[in-house]
Amino acid sequence: MSSVAKHSWHQSMKDAIRDSTTLLHRLRIDPDALGTSAQGERQFPVFVPEEYLNRMHPEDPNDPLLLQVLARKQESDTVLGFDEDPVGDSRVEKVPGLLQKYHGRVLLIVTGACAIHCRYCFRRHYPYSSAPKSIQQWEPALQYIASDTSIQEVIYSGGDPLTVADSVLADLTRQISSIPHIRRLRIHTRMPAVIPCRVDSQLCAWLKSTPLSKWVVLHINHPHEIDYSVETAIEKLQATGTVVLNQTVLLKGINDKLDVLRELCERLVQRGVMPYYLHQLDRVAGASHFECDPEAGRSLVERLSEMLPGYAVPKYVAEIEGRRSKTPLR
Ligand SMILES: *Cc1c(COP(=O)(O)O)cnc(C)c1O
Ligand code: SF4
C-alpha cells in the first residue's frame, strides 16, 4: 500500500470548508481586511474543498480563486436589475428538472449539489429541492426527450452533475442513449477543476462505454485553477474519446485583464481544451460586484483575438431571456 492514502472525491466533499471564517483563517487573512456577508452565507453557504483551497495563495486577500468563493460584504447590497432568476430558468422548465431554451438540445438539472459554491452563480437562488433525486423521478424528463424527435443532445447540468454517483449517471445515460434520436451527451461540470480525482476509472469506464458522442464543458476562470492534477483529469477525460471544452465567466477583479485571459486560453489549448464561451455575468442578486462593463469585455476579446489563433479565443456571449441562442457581444 502506498503511504499516501488516496483521497476519495466523496471525502473531499464531506471535508469541504463551509464558512468564511475558517476559509480566511486557513489562508492567514484578517477577516476585517476583506469584510464578509453573513446574509450572503445564509442564502448560499460557503463551500470550498481542500483541493481548490490548495491552489490559493496564503495571505493574499486578492487571490483570484479566493474571490470566487468568499461571501464578501458586497453580497448584501441590493442593486437594481440584479434578480433571483436572471435568465428566466423557471419559465423554460418543461417538466421537473428539464429546461429547454434552444432548438435540438435540452438541459437536465441532474442535481442541485456542487463541489464548490461560486459566489457569482446564476443558479444560487434556484429552487433545487424540486429537482428529481432518483432515476424514477426522471421518468417525465425521459418521456419528454423521447417524444420530441427534434432533440439531438442532452446536457447534464445542475448544480454539478459529477457530484452524482457513477452508478446513477451510468443508468441515466443508458436510458438516454436508448432513445434513437439522441446523438450527443454533453456534461457541464466544474468538478475536474475543483476535485480532479473525481475523474477516476469508474467515471471514465461509463463515459467510454456510452455510444453517444461525448462533450464535456469545464468551467475554469483563471489560469491558477489549472495545476498538474487538473491537467491529468483533462487527459483522462480526453482518453475516453470525450471532446473537452471550457467556459469562463468574465469576473471583475478576477479575470478581467488581458494577460490573465490570454494565459488561461493558452494553458487550455496547450491541453487540447477549446475555450468555448466567455460569459457576461448573469445579473443575479448578490453578484453585482463581479460585473464587468460589456464594452470593456468586448475590447478584451478583441485584443485576445489579435494575439491568439481563432480556436483559442472564446465567444463572448450573454444570456438574454427569450433569444434562440446565447447572444454574441461582439
Ligand atoms: C446555455 C444553455 C444551453 C447550451 O447552449 P449552447 O449554445 O448549445 O452551448 C442549453 N440549454 C440551456 C437552457 C442553456 O442555458
Ligand atoms: S459549480 Fe457551476 S452551478 Fe455550481 S456554484 Fe459554481 S457556477 Fe454555480
According to the model, what pLDDT value does residue 130 have? 57
Q: Does the beta carbon of 317 sit less than 6 angstroms from any atom of ligand 1?
A: no
Question: Does pLDDT of 277 surpass 60?
Answer: yes
The protein residue whose alpha carbon is closest to atom 3 in ligand 2 is: 159
Q: What is the pLDDT of residues 180-196, one digit of tens each?
A: 999 999 999 999 999 99
- Number of other residues whose CB lies within 10 A of the CB of residue 88: 15
Which ligand 1 atom minimizes the distance to the CA of 106?
11
Which ligand 2 atom minimizes the distance to the CA of 121?
8
Please give the grid coordinates belonging to residue 32.
476585517
Please give the grid coordinates belonging to residue 185.
451527451
Q: Does the beta carbon of 119 sit less than 6 angstroms from any atom of ligand 2?
A: no
Q: Does the beta carbon of 161 sit less than 6 angstroms from any atom of ligand 2?
A: no
Which of 52, 85, 160, 254 has most ligand 2 atoms within 8 Å of CB, for mutation? 160
For 72, which DSSP code? Answer: B
Separation of CA 160 from chain center? 7
> Ligand 1 centre and the CA of 196: distance in Å?
24
Ligand lying closest to the C-alpha of residue 159: 2
Q: Does the beta carbon of 193 sit less than 6 angstroms from any atom of ligand 2?
A: no
Instruction: Report how far residue 45's alpha carbon sits from residue 71's, in angstroms, rounded to the nearest whole number.
Output: 8
Q: Does the beta carbon of 123 sit less than 6 angstroms from any atom of ligand 1?
A: no
Instruction: Report how far residue 187's alpha carbon sits from residue 153's, in angstroms, rounded to the nearest whole number.
Output: 11
Dihedral angle, C-alpha 41, 280, 277, 53, nearest 10 °: -30
> Ligand 1 centre and the CA of 102: distance in Å?
7
Q: Does the beta carbon of 184 sit less than 6 angstroms from any atom of ligand 1?
A: no
Please give the grid coordinates belonging to residue 130.
424540486
Q: What is the pLDDT of residues 62-88, one digit of tens each?
A: 999 999 999 999 999 999 999 888 887
Instruction: Report how far residue 303's alpha carbon sits from residue 262's, in angstroms, rounded to the nearest whole number.
Output: 9
> Ligand 2 centre and the CA of 149: distance in Å?
30
Q: What is the pLDDT of residues 118-177, one digit of tens each?
A: 999 988 877 666 555 667 889 999 999 999 999 999 999 999 999 999 999 999 999 999
Q: Does the beta carbon of 116 sit less than 6 angstroms from any atom of ligand 2?
A: yes
Beta strands in the chain (DSSP E): 93-95, 98-102, 105-109, 153-157, 184-188, 213-219, 243-249, 274-279, 315-318, 327-328
For 190, which DSSP code? Answer: S
Question: Does pLDDT of 29 surpass 60?
Answer: yes
Q: What is the mean pLDDT of residues 1-14?
A: 73
According to the model, what pLDDT value does residue 131 have? 56
Q: Across the chain, what does the average pLDDT equal?
A: 94
Q: Does the beta carbon of 114 sit less than 6 angstroms from any atom of ligand 2?
A: yes
Dihedral angle, C-alpha 249, 315, 157, 271, nearest 10 °: -90
For 8, which DSSP code? Answer: P
According to the model, what pLDDT value does residue 3 have? 40
**CB–CB of 295/81 below 8 Å?**
no
Query: How far is the first Cα of the chain from the last one, in angstroms, to the nearest whole number?
Result: 55
**Cα 89 to Cα 55, 62, 72, 107, 257, distances in angstroms:** 33, 32, 26, 11, 30
**CB–CB of 329/290 below 8 Å?**
no
> Ligand 1 centre and the CA of 216: distance in Å?
13
Which ligand 1 atom minimizes the distance to the CA of 101?
13
Instruction: Report how far residue 25's alpha carbon sits from residue 139's, in angstroms, rounded to the nearest whole number.
Output: 46
Q: What is the pLDDT of residues 45-65, one digit of tens each?
A: 999 999 999 999 999 999 999
The band of 1, judged by pLDDT with boundaries at 50, 70 and 90, is very low
Q: Coil, strand, or helix at residue 219?
A: strand
Which of 94, 106, 155, 284 has most ligand 1 atoms within 8 Å of CB, for mutation? 155
Instruction: Report how far residue 132's alpha carbon sits from residue 147's, in angstroms, rounded to the nearest whole number.
Output: 19
Q: What is the mean pLDDT of residues 201-228?
A: 98
What does the angle CA 163 – CA 164 – CA 170 come to, to the nearest 5 degrees? 135
pTM of whole model > 0.85?
yes
Question: Does pLDDT of 2 surpass 60?
Answer: no
Residue 83 CB-density burial (10 A; 0-12 exposed, 13-18 middle, 19+ buried): middle
Cis peptide before 159 (omega within 30 of 0): yes
Which ligand 2 atom minimizes the distance to the CA of 249?
7
Which of 219, 277, 279 has most ligand 2 atoms within 8 Å of CB, for mutation? 219
